[in-house]
Amino acid sequence: MSRPGLLKRVAVTAPDPTWRASFEREAALIQQAAPDITAHHIGSTAIQGIWAKPIIDMLLTVPSLDAFEAATPALQAIGYEARGEFGIPGRRYFVKNDAQGQRVVHAHGFTQGSAEVTRHLAFRDYINVHPEAAQAYSALKRQLAAAHPSDIEAYMDGKDAFIKQHEVLALAWRASLRS
């Protein structure tokens, strides 16, 4: 059974130096439209030197979920489609497509300081400073995309154990930096 709203085709591409600039442009648009939102670059396009689906993943944070509700019309005005929690309690999920209908941004919104924010940022930072983990993740993504080019669920399921294992390591690593 296909999860609604998920991409149907799986294609990862070589690292692209324009991903950072794409994030920065979108973050500036969001900041202008909804000043209470802070945007963070997450996901594979935020990890140096790895293959990724060419879709910018963003983590949007606000002081409260009410702030997302208030900002939703402004985000819709700049091309974002609001999808509500989309299967994760406490999240506000938004997607943006380009003029050709291709997905260009996934935006995951949570309240500042939530466990989801901590988890996403810790994983991104950990993978970026551990190149062996980054390259293992990149290889896994390429393998899964080749094995499941038309099954996004199998692709995502194939990454799950790696992500969970490295999230545990990332959270421990982050805690060790603070002690």
Residue 4 is assigned to a structural domain of this protein: no
pLDDT tens string 84-118: 999 999 999 999 999 999 999 999 999 999 999 99
Task: Give residue 167's domain range.
Answer: 18-174
Q: What is the pLDDT of residue 5?
A: 46
Mean pLDDT, rounded, for 37-55 = 97
Q: Residue 7 falls within a domain, yes or no?
A: no
**pLDDT tens-place string over residues 52-68:** 999 999 999 999 999 99
- At 60 the three-state DSSP class reads strand
Asked whether residue 11 is assigned to any structural domain, the reply reads no
Q: What is the mean pLDDT of residues 38-65?
A: 97
**Confidence (pLDDT) at 6:** 53
> Is 97 within a domain?
yes
C-alpha distances out from residue 129 to 79, 113, 170, 171, Å: 33, 22, 10, 13
**Once rounded to an integer, what is the mean pLDDT over residues 114-125?**
97
Residue 104 lies in a domain: yes
CATH of the domain at 86: 3.30.460.10
| Pairs from 17-26 (Cβ < 8 Å, separation ≥ 24) | 19/45, 19/46, 19/52, 19/54, 19/56, 20/46, 22/56, 22/104, 23/56, 23/58, 26/56, 26/58, 26/96, 26/105
Instruction: Identify whether 179 is part of a domain.
Output: no
Structure confidence by residue, pLDDT tens digits, 146-158: 999 999 999 999 9
Tally of structural domains, the chain: 1
* pTM of the complete model beyond 0.85: yes
